[in-house]
Structure 1
């Protein structure tokens, strides 16, 4: 299927979703939302896909919402932005976070507003050293959405999250790496190859087990210690029943490279 606002391809078990509205820093309009929704549904259903990589074309990763797509007329009825969030952003963030495979985000340029929080919804965030993150919502009287009020304080702590959200200051990718908000930075020309190499490597791993790791870590934020111990027990039971677990043990015992199938 061809798309107008994104690019999408699958290679060696890796689905690559590239935001492709470079003239507007890959900001979201109605059409992009629909196309990204379609791709995420495809990725969820395709058993051949074992890792998702999200990135952007041009000098920006994503500038969040394209404000011209929902221009506010001072004489018109007050808009209900909650409806837009409920229809577009929340389903996208939930879909990314709940995918039963690793999701890598390669931030190639500025990630502002919802664009910054889409990146934070992914499992591993890589960035060009020239990239930056901006919680720009306060500049137009809004609050961080797309999960930002949940992911940001958990990534960098409450005081830093509060200051970034209230001030709307630009955070460099290198500072984000130092604060532990993202995994690693690269020279701009090396980012794409590094991200794809990591995605291909993850696609060869025991995907069911990786999905259970994601579920355990995501649940730990809201569980008590005892609840988390019980969850670890239950998820380990599931992991121990996978073909990949048997293959991993067999490969270890026979001193050969494992051939995981994601089953």
Structure 2
């Protein structure tokens, strides 16, 4: 069986492509969800990976859940209410638990529609850039269901509660230009330029020391739910660790010597 995630590596940058274009990269099988969990576990352990770029093959980024399975009450939607709840808890909800909390930066390169779970998947990433052909919808309510994978927590933190409420309670889609105006994405480019634009951002991140990237992302994540004084304590501890790395010493020496640094990941 063809893996759902097609993975390429160039230097410190990992490019991950949702690779089921015939289903518009629908995300609804346990094996697909397990691939995300396995990917995150591997990246967490591989200190040489500095940035992940997540995109889709074909015209869509991700169309969300498989509506045919919903209609047939099959796959992860089968069984009693308790069994469906457990399918969510032990299935798709494992993705935000691992992807949102991944140590390295994740850039979503949104090559086309990101609908339902597809939008929530994009919201788990740190930076989102979109092709001008992309559109976005928190569309669960149109199917009589709710965001089951963290969207009700993720989306308001990106676009604010009023806009998130509008999207979630109407289920209507917005285009790339609106997504840019609302801060859902940071950049909109022609679809032919999306890949190069995402890789350019990834390279700008990857030139920095790996420990600095991972610790900074962790602070940004923890800052979403911590008091300032608690975050300052964590920042002090992380800063003490960072000051005692070889890459910090190299960065300072390169700055003073007016040369490019040579980091070793130590």
TM-score, reference length from structure 1: 0.91
- Kept after mapping to 2: 8 A contact 1:106/1:126: yes
Partners of 2:9 and 2:223 in 1: how far apart? 32
Residue 201 (structure 2) pairs with residue 198 (structure 1)? yes
Question: C-alpha displacement at 1:154, in angstroms?
Answer: 1.2
Could you give the per-residue CA deviations for residues 212-242 of structure 1, whole angstroms, max 9, x where no partner exists? 1111121222222222222222221122122
Using the TM superposition, name which of 4-13 and 70-79 deviates more.
70-79
TM-score, reference length from structure 2: 0.90
CA RMSD of the aligned region, Å? Answer: 2.1
Residue 137 (structure 2) pairs with residue 134 (structure 1)? yes
Partners of 1:83 and 1:72 in 2: how far apart? 18
Query: Mind listing any 5+ residue stretches in structure 2 that lack a counterpart?
Result: none
Residue 107 (structure 2) pairs with residue 104 (structure 1)? yes
Question: C-alpha displacement at 1:5, in angstroms?
Answer: 2.5
- Kept after mapping to 1: 8 A contact 2:47/2:210: no
Partner of 1:17: 16
Partners of 2:232 and 2:104 in 1: how far apart? 23
The 5 A counterparts of 1:33-48 are 33-48=33-48
Could you give the per-residue CA deviations for residues 81-116 of structure 1, whole angstroms, max 9, x where no partner exists? 322221122221121122221111101000011110
Query: Compared with structure 1, are the counterparts of its residues 149 and 214 closer, same or farther at alpha carbon in structure 2 (3 Å cutoff)?
Result: same
Question: C-alpha displacement at 1:73, in angstroms?
Answer: 4.3
- Kept after mapping to 2: 8 A contact 1:62/1:116: yes
Partners of 1:114 and 1:174 in 2: how far apart? 21
Partners of 1:196 and 1:44 in 2: how far apart? 20
What secondary structure does 1:143 align onto? coil
Query: Compared with structure 1, are the counterparts of its residues 262 and 100 closer, same or farther at alpha carbon in structure 2 (3 Å cutoff)?
Result: farther
Partners of 1:129 and 1:244 in 2: how far apart? 39
Using the TM superposition, name which of 206-215 and 51-60 deviates more.
206-215
- Kept after mapping to 1: 8 A contact 2:28/2:64: no
Residue 155 (structure 2) pairs with residue 156 (structure 1)? no
Partner of 2:64: 64
Please point out which of 253, 258, 263 is paired with 1:260: 263
Question: C-alpha displacement at 1:60, in angstroms?
Answer: 0.4
Partners of 1:183 and 1:41 in 2: how far apart? 28
- Kept after mapping to 2: 8 A contact 1:18/1:56: yes
Partners of 1:257 and 1:177 in 2: how far apart? 34
